[in-house]
Amino acid sequence: MKKYILLIMTFSLFVSNTAGAAVKVGLGFDQGFGVTAQFDNINAFIGNDGISGDYIFKRGSFSEETPFNWYVAGGAFLGWDHGAGIRLPLGINLNFDDKWDGYFQVQPELDFDHGSRSDVKLSADLAIGVRYRF
């Protein structure tokens, strides 16, 4: 329980520090089911399986007529029960309304497990979600 209180406090401080930034909040699947948020170039997620954060360092569009745009990010994740790691999300973003957007991303992950099952493994994961811009 203390872990969740600390995360909520950290998240609220982060939101207050980015008050002038474009803020999007919604629901999605990444580290389990949870809350997703975007603050300019930072994607954050808190779910029932863990927490993740990514920095978007490259964006682009396919063409002027296509409603999709793409992005490449780098970040890290922490699982509540299964270690931590780094990842490289490759995503597609769709703005389907002035205030709403959806995203889908594939992320290769390098997972550093800890404890008695200590090892390093390379895997891939998916994330999907919908956000509302304030």
- 48-77: per-residue pLDDT in tens? 999 999 999 999 998 888 888 999 999 999
Residues 28-51 pLDDT 10s: 999 999 999 999 899 999 999 999
Beta strands in the chain (DSSP E): 23-30, 32-39, 42-47, 50-61, 68-79, 84-87, 90-95, 100-112, 120-133
What is the DSSP secondary structure assignment for residue 72, as one 8-state letter? Answer: E
**Mean pLDDT across the chain, nearest whole number?**
85
Q: What is the pLDDT of residue 97?
A: 83
59-93 burial by CB neighbour count: b if 16+ within 10 A, else e?
eeeeeeeeeeeebebebebebeeebebebbbebeb
Average pLDDT in the 113-121 region? 71
Average pLDDT in the 86-106 region? 93
Q: What is the pLDDT of residue 115?
A: 60
Tokens for 7?
Answer: 């995360």
Ranking 12-21, 67-76, 77-86 by mean pLDDT, the lowest is 12-21
Q: Map out the domains of the chain with their CATH numbers.
A: 2-133 (2.40.160)
Side-chain-side CA neighbours of residue 82 (13 Å): 9
